[in-house]
Each structure stands twice: as C-alpha cells, then as structure tokens.
Amino acid sequence: MRTVFVINGPNLNLLGTREPGVYGSLTLADIGRRLKTKAETLGIALEFRQSNHEGDLVDWIQEAGQAGAGVVLNAGAYTHTSIALRDAIAGSGAVTVEVHISNVHAREPFRHRSMIAPVCAGVICGFGAAGYELALDGLAGLAEK
C-alpha cells in the first residue's frame, strides 16, 4: 500500500465552524495539510476527498480497492445508516480504518452503532483531528505485515 485515500462524508466540509465544542476548530483543509505532512514522512501518497453525497463515497472506496490503496474513512452520519458503504468496503477489498473526530459512544444513542465497523480493519474515535493521523499510522502498520 503506497497510496491512502482519506474519504470524508457529509457535513465534514463545515469543520471549523460546525459545533466546535464537539469537532474542534480545525477546518477540513487544516486536517488535510497535517495529514499530507504525516503521509510524506511515511512514504505514502495521499488522496484527500470530501463529499456530501453517498454515491461519491462509494465510488471512491471502490476506486481505492481497485488500486490496492488503503482507506481512512470518516463517513460522518453515513456511518450509522449506509449499507452501501459497508458493501463497497467489503466488495472492493479496500483495507479501511473508520475514524471519527468525536467519541461517538459518548454521544446520542443512534451514533453508537456503525454499519461499516464490521468490515473495517479498525475504528478510531474521540481523539479529535489526531484520529486521522492515528488511522494513517494504523494502515501503514498493516501494510508492513
């Protein structure tokens, strides 16, 4: 795995202004810049993308799987509802780490269940934007095995 797709779902384009008490003050662009720097130190090429549309996320997961790339996926609200994303991960063979900025288990009950976690290599939540870097480290470690 020399490439990792970082795929961000709905409303993550609002980071920095959306509920900063929950999601912090960094923008998605800030996270992307930090992650690109981290990826360079690991020798990984990064594809950083965001969409509010489920079909785009499905297409990108399939693209990553076909390319043999890993995936860091913050599916946002689709985490809890999308069988399509679950099937894209399972069907494409993309090694995927689910990431959330907030601790979803300390929030509303509907956020406690992930449709995609069972087909992901791991799940990281509650560490703020640093969770993306932890997920990248995790994928790099899996690639070494």
Most confidently predicted of 12-16, 44-48, 108-112, 139-143: 44-48
Token pair recorded at residue 66: 């076909």
Residue the block writes with tokens 């202004």: 17
Tokens 């992650």, residue located: 35
Contact residues for 15 (Cβ-Cβ < 8 A; gap 6+): 23, 24, 26, 27, 28, 30, 31, 101
Domain 3-144 bears CATH identifier 3.40.50.300: no
For 49, the token pair is 């993308």
pLDDT, mean of residues 125-129: 93
80 is catalytic: no
Q: Which residues pair with 49 in a beta bridge?
A: 7
Which of these is catalytic: 23, 53, 112, 132? 23
pLDDT digits (tens, 9 = 90+) for 46-104: 999 999 999 999 999 999 999 999 999 999 999 999 999 999 999 999 999 999 998 88
pTM score of the predicted model: 0.92
Instruction: Please tell me which residue in 78, 100, 105, 112 is annotated as part of the active site.
Output: 100
| Structure confidence at residue 145 (pLDDT) | 66
Q: Is 23 considered catalytic here?
A: yes
Tokens found for residue 58: 């499905």
Is pLDDT above 70 for 35? yes
pLDDT of residue 45: 96
